[in-house]
Amino acid sequence: MLAADDQARFHADGFVTVDSLIDNSLIDPLKDRFERLFRGDFETGTAPDEVNWQHRSSDPTLTRQICNGWKADRLIASVVLDAGLGEAAARLAGWPGARIVQDNVIWKPPGARSLGFHRDNAYLSWYTPTEMLSCWIALDDTTAAGGTMELARGSHRWPTGSDAMGEFHAPDDYRAPVVAAAETAGLELDIAAVEVTAGGGSFHHGWAWHGSGPNRSGRHRRSLVLHCASSEARFRRAGFADGNGPVYSRYAHLTGDEMDENHFPILWRSDGYRTPGI
C-alpha cells in the first residue's frame, strides 16, 4: 500500500496522500450506508458511540459526523477493520501493531460549514501512549473548494504546548487555531489540501494540525476515517475527564488498564495476531 518514498514523505510532512485506499466497487455501497446511518438505521442494532447529526432534527448547514459507525454497520466495519490499513498505520507510526480507537463517518453536503483545525493527539489523554495515526478515505472526488481536508505541512514536529482545543463544528474562522500555533512557535504555515479521486485519501500523524473549510462546491464530500492507536495502548484513568475520554472510558474494566478488544480490536500485529472475529 505504501512505497518507500511515501513513508519518507510522511515523516517529513506529517502526512502522505495515497491514490487508492479502497476498491472502487465499495464506493457507492458505502455512500448508501452513510444515508442509512444518518437516518438512524443501524444494521447491527447497535448505535454508534457518537451521533452528531441526524436527519430532520439537525442543522442542515453543519457537517454530518458519526463516530464508530463500524459498530452499527458491517460494510463500514469491513473497511475500517481492514488488516492492510492497520498494518500501514502501524508501520508509519513505528508501532508493533495497530488497534482501532474510533472511526469517523463524515458527510459535508454542498453549503455545509467548516470543521476547525485541531490535533488528534490533544484529545487522547485517556489512554497511553497518547498517540494516534489516522487514515482518511474520500468517497467523492475532493477539491479545495469542496471543503476537503487540509493539513499543515510539518506541523507534527511543532511544539505541543500550543495545541489547545478550539471549536470543532462550524467555527467562524476554522484556521484560527493553527495560525495562532504557528505564530506562537515562530514557524511558517504551509497548508496543503488533500485533493484525490474517490477511493483515495491520506494518512496523517496524530500531532499534524488539520481541519477543513466550508463546502463551496455543488457536490457532496463524504469521507470515512480510521483512527488507530498502538496495539500496546492502555487506559489512563487520570485522563478520563479530558478530551473524548468521557465517551470511551465507558469501556474500561473495573480493574486493570487493558483496552477490551471487543471495543478496540487489534487490526494487525507484527507477530501475525489479529483480534478473532473481525
Query: Domain ranges in the chain?
Result: 4-269
pLDDT at res. 52? 86
Q: In the structure grid, which three cell numbers stand for residue 165, read together?
A: 482545543
Question: What is the C-alpha to C-alpha distance for residues 39 and 36, in angstroms, rounded to an integer?
Answer: 5
Give the span between the Cα atoms of 151 and 121, in whole angstroms: 15
Best CA proximity match to 249, nearest among 111, 65, 100, 126: 126
Secondary structure class of 169 (helix, strand, coil): strand
Judge whether 48 and 67 are in contact, CB under 8 Å: yes
Whole-number pLDDT of residue 58: 82
CATH architecture of the domain covering 4-269: Sandwich (2.60)
Q: Shortest CA distance to 82 belongs to which of 210, 208, 201?
A: 201
pLDDT at 209: 97
> Three cell numbers at 42?
443501524
Q: 139 with 244: CB under 8 angstroms?
A: no
* pLDDT of res. 167: 79
Strand partners, 110: none
Percent of the chain with pLDDT over 90: 88
Mean pLDDT of 128-135: 97
Region 125-129 average pLDDT: 96
Mean pLDDT computed over 112-137 = 95
Tens digit of pLDDT for each residue in 10-40?
Answer: 999 999 999 999 999 999 999 999 999 999 9
Which pLDDT band, with edges at 50, 70 and 90, does 191 fall under?
very high
Q: Please determine, for residue 162, whether its predicted confidence score (pLDDT) is greater than 80.
A: no
Whole-number pLDDT of residue 165: 64
Q: Is the pLDDT of residue 60 over 80?
A: yes
- For all residues of the chain together, what is the average pLDDT? 95
- Note the pLDDT of residue 163: 63
The yes-or-no verdict on residue 234 having pLDDT over 80 is yes
Mean pLDDT of 146-154: 97
